[in-house]
């Protein structure tokens, strides 16, 4: 499953990080940013994004031709699809729609129509959190999972992110995760909400030690392009592109992330304990010290009244 994510990049940096080469182009293009509706809720960078928060989602621009100048669009959306049939307060539909299971999408009364109507999207994240239940204490240990980074890039140390962008070389910086999802535009009276669900699948041997489910992560440009191309790639063909990703990194984090109100950088800090390097042998001086201490003790005992009496 996927219950928390992290994304600290602001709008302009995120557009650079999601830059792509349109077909036949020699330079990179930044996707347009469309920020509207969602009942006034805005995207706020956070190290602990929870369901009902608003986060940037990438979609095809074919439905936004009047507003977008690029083929791809970044659109802030609320995490957790609002069912199309729901009326009244969008926060009270009482369904768990943060994730949708890949194997159930085509038979689902909620997700199947959304898929067939071109509601494919990509959720952008720096990483996501998952919890492991330990055998000893039964306390769930949180982990932060993210894409493989360059050698000198530390996910929990933003000062090591050498983020840079130009049209010829594209984005040179932190590597993001692109998670396949479905989205829907819900409207009731004057309220319009864009909302999404993250698609999950059975874990492979990369992640099954931690959890039996994992997000459907798109780790190649061909996968991203196919998933977004709702005009030329059929739903069945698009689903066939979803495979468990093999190259991921992770580290333990504090239970601060358990509380969704904690949004600070401390949430994804590496808390793994490194073993102390203990000397395998005692230094030679320790034996001399021990011998001197024994000799001093013996001398004191020889001067004691009990010792003198024993000698007599």
**Selected catalytic residue, list 2, 16, 18, 267:** 2
Burial 124-146 (b: 16+ CB within 10 A, else e): bbbbbbbbeeeeeeeeeebbbbb
Backbone angles phi, psi at 200, to 5 degrees: -120, 160
Decide if 130 is catalytic: yes
Residue 147 CB neighbours (<10 A):
19
**Selected catalytic residue, list 18, 130, 225, 267:** 130
DSSP E strand boundaries for 147-204 = 164-166, 170-172, 177-188, 191-202
Instruction: Give the DSSP per-residue string, 45-89.
Output: -EEEE-TTSEEEEEEEGGG-TTT-SSSEEEEEEEESPPPTT--S-
Euclidean distance between CA atoms 149 and 127, whole angstroms? 12
Euclidean distance between CA atoms 49 and 72, whole angstroms? 23
C-alpha triplet 49, 134, 277: angle, nearest 5°: 95
Decide if 2 is catalytic: yes
Euclidean distance between CA atoms 120 and 231, whole angstroms? 11
Euclidean distance between CA atoms 257 and 267, whole angstroms? 5
Residue 188 CB neighbours (<10 A):
13
Residues marked active site are found at 2, 130
């Amino acid at each position: 499953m996927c219950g928390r994510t992290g994304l600290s990049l602001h709008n302009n940096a995120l557009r650079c990080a999601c830059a792509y080469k349109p077909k036949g182009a020699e330079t990179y293009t930044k996707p347009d940013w469309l920020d509207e509706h969602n009942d006034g809720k805005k995207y706020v960078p956070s190290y602990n994004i929870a369901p009902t928060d608003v986060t940037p989602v990438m979609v095809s621009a074919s439905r936004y031709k009047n507003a977008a100048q690029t083929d791809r669009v970044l659109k802030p959306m609320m995490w957790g699809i609002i069912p199309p049939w729901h009326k009244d307060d969008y926060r009270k539909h009482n369904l768990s729609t943060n994730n949708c299971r890949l194997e159930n999408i085509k038979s689902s009364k909620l997700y199947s129509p959304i898929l067939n109507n071109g509601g494919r999207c990509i959720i952008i994240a720096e990483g996501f959190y998952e919890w492991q239940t330990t055998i000893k204490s039964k306390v769930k240990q949180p982990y932060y999972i993210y894409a493989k980074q360059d050698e000198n890039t530390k996910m929990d140390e933003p000062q090591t992110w050498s983020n840079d962008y130009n049209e010829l070389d594209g984005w040179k910086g932190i590597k993001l995760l692109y998670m396949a999802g479905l989205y829907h535009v819900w409207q009731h009276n004057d309220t319009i909400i864009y909302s999404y669900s993250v698609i999950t699948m059975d874990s492979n041997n990369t992640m099954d030690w931690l959890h039996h489910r994992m997000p459907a992560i798109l780790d190649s440009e061909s996968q991203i392009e196919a998933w977004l191309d709702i005009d030329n790639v059929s739903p069945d063909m698009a689903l066939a592109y979803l495979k468990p990703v093999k190259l991921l990194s992770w580290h333990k984090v504090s239970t601060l992330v358990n509380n969704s109100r904690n949004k600070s950088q401390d949430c994804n800090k590496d808390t793994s304990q490194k073993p102390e390097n203990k000397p395998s042998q005692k230094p030679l001086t320790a034996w001399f010290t021990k011998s001197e201490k024994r000799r001093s003790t013996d001398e004191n005992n020889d001067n004691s009244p009990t010792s003198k009496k024993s000698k007599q």
